[in-house]
Chains A and B, each alone.
Chain A
Amino acid sequence: MSTTQVQEPTPNEIKDTKLYQAWGLTDAEYELIEQKLQRLPNYTETGLFSAMWSEHCSYKKSKPVLKTFWSKNDRVLQGPGEGAGILDIGDNQAVVFKAESHNHPSAVEPYEGAATGVGGILRDIFSMGAQPIAVLDSLQFGNPDQAETKRLIDGVVAGIAGYGNAIGIPTVGGATNFDATYQQNPLVNVMAVGLLNQADLHVGQARGIGNAVIYVGATTGRDGIHGATFASSEFDSHQDQNRSAVQVGDPFMEKLVMDTTLNAVREFGAHIVGIQDMGAAGLVSSTAEMADKAGRGMQLNLDRVPQREAHMTPYELMLSESQERMILVVEPEYAQSIMDLFKAQDLNAVQIGTVTDGKQYQLYFQDELVADVPVDFLTSAPKMHMAQTKPARLEKVASDYQPDLAQPSETLLALLAQPNVASKASLYRHFDCSVKANTVVKPGQADAAIVRIRQTDKALAMTTDINSRLTYLDPFIGGQRALLEAAQNIVATGATPIGITDCLNFGNPDDPEIYYELAQSVAGINDMAQLLNTPVISGNVSLYNETDGVAIHPTPMVGMVGLISNTDLIVTQNFKAVDDEIYLINPQPAEFNGSELQNMVQGQLSGALKPIDHKQVQAIMEKVQTATKRHLVQSVHDLSEGGLAVALSESLMETPFGAQVELKTPLNDIFSEVPAQFIVSVSSAQQQAFEDLMGTAAMKIGKITPVPELHIIGNDAKEIQLPMTQVKEKYKDSLWQRLQ
C-alpha cells in the first residue's frame, strides 16, 4: 500500500513466512484478523494488532482474573481501566494513584529502564488532571554479593534518582528486597500518587465527532519499538537481550509536559475531552483506546507526527515508545489556544487527526490509507482460557519449622544484618524525599510515608509491600498477607487505609502452575481488600518474569494509600520517652514458616501458613486505629520480617534509649512472624485508657529505659542482651558494606 523508504514485507509474505509470530501473534489470532478484515493485514496493520494484542496492552491472559477484583465503594471515583484510579478524600479533592512495573527494561538497561518507569507512571497520574505529589519504588534484586546485582542496583537507583529528582516529585517510600529468585529477573515496580481537584478530572477518551486529536511533547523516534511485545515474553540467557526495545527518558521534557498539561487542564479543562499518555505501544495504544472508550472512530495523518529520525515508516511511528508524549482530544475551536500553551514552552503540539463517526481506525501516510481496521476489534484481543494446576510443591505440606537457637543475641544481630532487614538508607538517600516541602514522614521514620496536603489539615499515608516468601508457600494466604501488611503499615502511622493499587509480577502464564499462583494471589488480595474496605482501583500485570524456563516466586506488590484527617494524628515508629510502657498488640502462638529466621537458618522455605482469622484481624486493625485517633499511643510499629525482636530494635534505632522486655513465652518466639501484630509505646498517663480499649488484644511486655541496651528475657530464662551501639551498627552498616 505505502511507498516508504524501507522495503516492507507484503501481506502475502507476512502470511507465508509467519513473520507475525516473531511479534507475538499466534496463528489463531492472525487467522481471526484475516477473517475479520476479509483480507490479509498489511505490515503496519499486523504491527498494530501484535502490539495491541500483546499481554502487556490487552491483559488477554490475566483479564479473567483481574476482573474479579473488588473496586467499588463510596470513595471510588475511578476504578481500573484508566491511566490511574481515583478516590474521593473530601473537600472536592481526590487522590489518584497507580503502580506500574518496568521489570524487563530494567533487567536489560537498568538506568533507563528504571528512569522511564518513573516517567511513565507520572504521566498516568497527570493525564487524569492530577498533580503528582509522591513516588514510591518497590525493588526486588538477587543476591547482593553478586557483581551483576550490584550493577543492577547502581543502575536502577541512579535511574530513579536521575528522573524523579530532576522532575521534582519526591520519592518518599517503597521497599527493596533481595532473594535469589530475582537473580536473572529483577523487579522494578513504581507507584505514583497525585492530588486532584475533582473539577479537573479527565479520562482518556475521544468523545465528539470532529474533535481534534492533538499530539504534545517529545518527538517520535525509533526507541522502544515493540516494547510491549518485549515485555510479554521471557528471557533466554543465551540470546542477546533486546536493548533497542528499551526507551530513553528526558525528565526535563517531562516536567515541561507535566506542568503545561496541568495548566491546560486548569485553563481549558471544559474543552479538553480526553487526555492519555503514550505508554506501552505508544501512539496506537493511546489513540485506539481513547476512540474505543468513546465508541468512535479516528483518522490520523502520520505525516504530521513530530519525528526525530528520518524516513520513519507508519509501522515505526505507531509502535515507537518514545517517552514524554501525550495525546489530548479537544474541541476544535480551542485546539489552537491549547497548542499555543505547549508551544510557548518550546514543546511540540500538533493536530494529528480527528475523531470520526463510525468505528474505523484509519491511518494516512503520504496521502495513502496505510491502515484501516475496526477500532473495537483492534482493542479487543481474543479472550484466552487459561489452564490452572496447583503446583506440586503446594500439595505436600512439610512439617512446621521450630527453631532451636543456642545464642539468641547472635541470632538477632545476624537477622539485623540480613539484606531484607538491614537499613536501606544507603540506597534511598539518593532519592530526593523532601522536594516540595510536604513530606511529613520520610523513609525510615515510620512504616509508611506521609505527605501533607497544603491548605488543609489532611495528609496521605502511602506504602508498598511485597513478601514473595509467603506467596511462594501459599499464594492465597500470601496475597492476603501482602495486603494486610500494607494495611498494617498505613494504620501504624495513624491513617485509615482507603484503597490499593497492585503490580502482579509472575512467570509465564501459559504454565498452568503459574496461572494458578496468579489466580490464588489475586483471590487472596481481593479477600483482604474487601475485609479492610480498601478497593483495588488500579494496577498492572507483569508476566513472563522468567529466564531459561525458571520463573520468579509469585510476587504480587500491593501499593496502599491511607487518609489522615488531621496531621495531629500522625504517629511514627520511634520510641518517644523513658518509662513509656511497651505493649505487643495481638499476642498469638508463634509461627516461623516462611519467616526471615527460617530463610536465614535453613536457607530455604517450607511449611504451611496459618489461615487468617478475618474477625480477629478486623478487630485488631480497628482497635489500633481507635488508639491512634484517641492519641493513646506514643509510637506504633508493625511486626514483619524478623518479628518482635527486629521491631523492637527498629523502634529504638533513632533514639538514645534502650528497652527492658520480659516475655511470657519462650525467647525464640521473639522471632515469630504472625500477621496483624504491632508494638506500641504508651505513656503512664494513658496506660489505663489504653488497656481499657485494648483488653486482651494488648499485652504489656516491657518498658523504655534510659540505658541504651536491648534486654529481652524469655519465660525459659533465655535472654538477649545487647548494647544498642552494636544493634545500630549491624542494622545500619550491613547492607551498605555488602554493596561496596
Chain B
Amino acid sequence: MVKTAVVRFPGSNCDEDLFYALADLNLNPVFVSAQEESDLSDYAAIFLPGGFSYGDYLRTGAIARFSPIMDAVRHAADAGQLVVGICNGFQILTESGLLPGQLMQNATPGFICDEVMVNITNPNSAFTRAYTSTSVKLPIAHADGRYYADAATLQELVEHQQIILTYQDNVNGSVEQIAGITNVAGNVIGLMPHPERAMEALIGNVDGRGFFESIQASLPA
C-alpha cells in the first residue's frame, strides 16, 4: 500500500489541508513530526506544507532547514522518492539547497491571498502529467513568494525543463514569472500556489486535483 507523509513543522498551518487532499485520492497520508522523527523511507511521497515554520521570524524556512527531519528529507530526495514543498515548504526546500534559487519578499511588500492563472510549462513532470489543460487557476497565499535565481541557474532550469509552473500575471515579481520548479532529477518540486486548497467544487476550485492525480500516477502501484 502506498503511504505518503505530511511533515509537520512547528508553525505549519496547511498540514490538514494537505492531509485531506491526499486522503481524497487514497494516498494514505500520515502526519510526521519534523522534530521527533527521522525516517521517511516508508513513504512514496513526502509533503512539506505551507505555514510559518518556527514563526518564520528570521527568514522564511531558515530555521526549519535545521529540523531533525531534514536529513531524512534529503535521503528521500536522493533515493528518488517524491518530495513536494508547497509555499513555506518550497521556501524550506530552497533554504536547504534541495532546490536552487531563493524566495524573497513580494515585489510589492505584503501578503497576497488570491486565485491566479498559472501556466503549466512542463506538462510531462511527475507533478503535472495528469493535467489536460495547459493553464489552471490556483490559490496563492504568501508574502515571500518572489522567486529569484541568477542567470546561470535560470539557464540550467530551462535546459533541464525544471520550470514547471509560471504565473500568467507576475503577481509577486518572480524572475521569469516562476511559480514552481523541480530539481534536475525531477522528483523534488517546490511551488508557491496551493493546489491542496483547490480540490472541491464546493469551495469553488478543482484545479488542484490534477497536481495530486499526477503524483498518484507517478507513484509505484
Contact = CB atoms under 8 A, between A and B. Distances in A.
Interface in A417-459: 429-440, 442, 452, 454
Contacts of B20: 437, 454
Interface stretch (A214-222, A234-242, A251-259): A251-259
A255 B13 contact: yes
Interface in B17-60: 17, 20-21, 50-52, 54-57
Contact of A167 (B13, B139, B199): B13
B114 interface: yes
B114 A429 contact: yes
B10 A166 contact: no
A345 B10 contact: yes
Nearest to B54: A252
A249 B112 CA distance: 21
Nearest to B55: A252
Given A345-B10, A430-B111, A430-B112, A251 B202 contact: no
Given A432-B141, A437-B17, A452-B202, A166 B56 contact: yes
Contacts of A442: 204
Contacts of B200: 437
B57 A252 contact: yes
Interface in B90-114: 110-114
A437 B11 contact: no
Contacts of B215: none
A161 B113 CA distance: 10
A255 B21 CA distance: 22
A168 interface: yes
Contacts of A411: none
A728 to B, nearest CB: 17
A435 B202 CA distance: 15
Contact of B16 (A166, A436, A440): A436
A452 B111 contact: no
B52 A251 contact: yes
A328 B20 CA distance: 32
Interface residues on A, range: 20 to 34
Contacts of B11: 166, 252, 255-256
B10 A435 contact: no
B165 to A, nearest CB: 18
Interface in A243-288: 250-253, 255-256
Contacts of A166: 11, 13, 51-52, 55-56
B207 interface: no
A43 to B, nearest CB: 36
Contacts of A168: 13-14, 51-52
Interface residues of B, number: 31
B115 to A, nearest CB: 8
B203 interface: yes
B65 interface: no
Contacts of B112: 429-430
A440 B202 contact: yes
A165 interface: yes
B141 A165 contact: yes
Contacts of B111: 161-162, 165, 430-432
B204 A440 contact: yes
A437 B199 CA distance: 9
A413 interface: no
A345 B36 CA distance: 11
A256 B197 CA distance: 23
A567 B202 contact: yes
Given A167-B13, A430-B113, A435-B14, A251 B203 contact: no
A503 B35 CA distance: 41
B213 to A, nearest CB: 17
A437 B196 contact: yes
A413 B189 CA distance: 47
Interface string A163-177: 001111000000000
Given A429-B112, A437-B197, A256 B139 contact: no
Interface string B161-198: 00000000000000000000000000000000010110
B136 to A, nearest CB: 16
Contacts of A167: 13
A429 B52 contact: no
Interface in A288-328: none
B203 A452 contact: yes
A567 B51 CA distance: 28
A437 B52 CA distance: 17
Contacts of A251: 52, 55
B113 A437 contact: no
Contacts of A89: none
B197 A434 contact: yes
Contacts of B17: 435-437
A438 B202 CA distance: 9
A645 B21 CA distance: 42
A567 B202 CA distance: 8
B178 to A, nearest CB: 21
Contacts of A567: 202
A158 interface: yes
Most buried by B among A165, A345, A567: A165
A434 B57 CA distance: 23
Contacts of A434: 113, 139, 141, 194, 197, 203
Contacts of A433: 113
Most buried by A among B52, B57, B113, B200: B113
A429 B203 contact: no
A497 to B, nearest CB: 22
A434 B13 CA distance: 12
A251 B114 CA distance: 22
B141 A430 contact: no
A250 B203 CA distance: 30
A494 to B, nearest CB: 13
A170 to B, nearest CB: 9
A256 B141 CA distance: 21
B10 A432 contact: no
B176 to A, nearest CB: 24
Interface in A157-210: 158, 161-162, 165-168
A435 B196 CA distance: 10
Contacts of B143: 161, 165
A167 B50 CA distance: 11
B113 A438 contact: no
A605 B82 CA distance: 64
Nearest to B18: A437
Interface string A19-37: 0000000000000000000
Contacts of A250: 55
Nearest to B139: A434
Contacts of B114: 429
A435 B112 CA distance: 12
B206 to A, nearest CB: 12
Contact of B203 (A253, A345, A438): A438
Q: 5 smallest A-B Cβ distances: which pairs?
A: A168-B13, A252-B55, A437-B17, A166-B52, A437-B197
11 contacts: A161-B110, A166-B51, A168-B52, A252-B52, A252-B56, A256-B11, A430-B112, A431-B113, A437-B200, A439-B203, A452-B203
